[in-house]
Structure 1
Amino acid sequence: MAFLAGPRLLDWASSPPHLQFNKFVLTGYRPASSGSGCLRSLFYLHNELGNIYTHGLALLGFLVLLPMTMPWGQLGKDGWLGGTHCVACLAPPAGSVLYHLFMCHQGGSPVYTRLLALDMCGVCLVNTLAARWRCA
């Protein structure tokens, strides 16, 4: 179980102020890390690991299944509508993985705010650009 060993995790009171938005999550906060440190956090237990992996699995599922299930023949010659739909469907899980993975970045609150905006942008994209088709 060596892969579960990571840096010493923080409790809620010791975590950076911009990460203290959920008073019910008391432990498991990652310390401020570099980009590579954030990536290494994929291999030890902490309070964001479930979010990272579940959204990552959804992203992989979309990457595999979405192109195979699109009715490309019904979308016209250029396929821009299908491409837009694919991007809109991939944006929320991709933004969410990036947000949860890098929210403890040593850049602090400015990096966190940009990541949160990216995550919310993905939600907006899927709500505004994801078209629905009726396949016969």
Structure 2
Amino acid sequence: MLLGCQEDQPRLRNVCDNEADKLKVSKNDDEEKEEGGKKDPDMEIKKEIEQDQKENPVINNKLLCVKDMPPHLQFNPHILEGYRPLQSPLGCIRSAFQWHNESVNIITHAIPIFYIIFTVPDVLPWHSKELTFLAWCHIAGILCPWLGSFAYHMFMNLNYGPTAYYILLQIDMLGIWTSQSIGALPLLFATTKCLPSVVRWCVILFYCFLSLWGLYKFAKQSEIWSE
């Protein structure tokens, strides 16, 4: 009897292994069904883009017409051609050396960025804490709008779907907010220099409050863009 049980042991192990494999396959099928039920629009767009690029590899270097672009990039009906295809971040950077309908925007934003970085810091006062703070505010105020807009125009054709585009648009607007709020602090400090200390700081704090309130309203408006 004991010998018979020992002879059946390999067969029983095979049966158990087969049952375990069936359970794994069933579990994987259930997970795939659950994932299939939750479809991410951005992922669907990305998969379609990747499929198109596999089927048409030449399209990566070919400029497109407005009708060939996804809906979120068809916002200008007056520009009908010269659009870059959807690309990876590296592809967007490489496209800067190709002539397209964003070339002028990219070039005219890159030139001020380099000019500011290499010239402005040398002419600003850095010999006191207050002036150093105001110098940084001035640099942020004149540099951030160019940086935000440069990033927007450079990477607006990212193949990450509409969400990435709206984030770039928000970065562009954030640069403008920085210019209008932080960039104006040196002027505000200079304007209120001769006022009594209490009045001066009340004016500055009130201005900061208004700037932050504007940023809050901007953030609320940004929620509408992403819908």
TM-score by length of 1: 0.86
Aligned length: 127
Distance 1:126 1:77 in 2: 21
Unaligned runs of 5+ in 2: 1-59, 192-227
**2 CA distance for matches of 1:77 and 1:32?**
46
Larger radius of gyration: 2
Moved over 4 A (4+): none
After TM superposition, give the deviation of residue 18 of structure 1 in Å: 0.7
Structure 1 alignment gaps of length 5 or more: 1-5
CA distance in 2, matches of 1:25, 1:69: 41
**Structure-2 separation of matches of 1:11 and 1:119:** 25
1:71 to 104, 114, 125: 125
> 1:32, 1:108 within 8 Å by CA — same for their partners in 2?
no
TM-score under structure 2 normalisation?
Answer: 0.53
Contact map agreement 1:51 1:100 (CA 8 A) in 2: yes
Question: Which residue matches 1:128?
Answer: 181
| Larger RCO (alpha carbons 8 Å, 6+ apart) | 1
State the one-letter code of the partner of 2:175: G
In structure 2, what is the equivalent of residue 80 of structure 1?
133
Corresponding residue to 1:112 among 165, 178, 193: 165
Identity %: 38
Richer in helix (by share) = 2
Determine the C-alpha separation between the residues in 2 that align with 1:77 and 1:47: 45
- Which residue of structure 1 lines up, in the alignment, with residue 89 of structure 2? 35
| Paired residues of 1:92 and 1:123 also in contact (CA < 8 A) | yes
In angstroms, what is the RMSD of aligned CA positions? 1.7
* Residue 65 of structure 2 corresponds to residue 11 of structure 1: yes
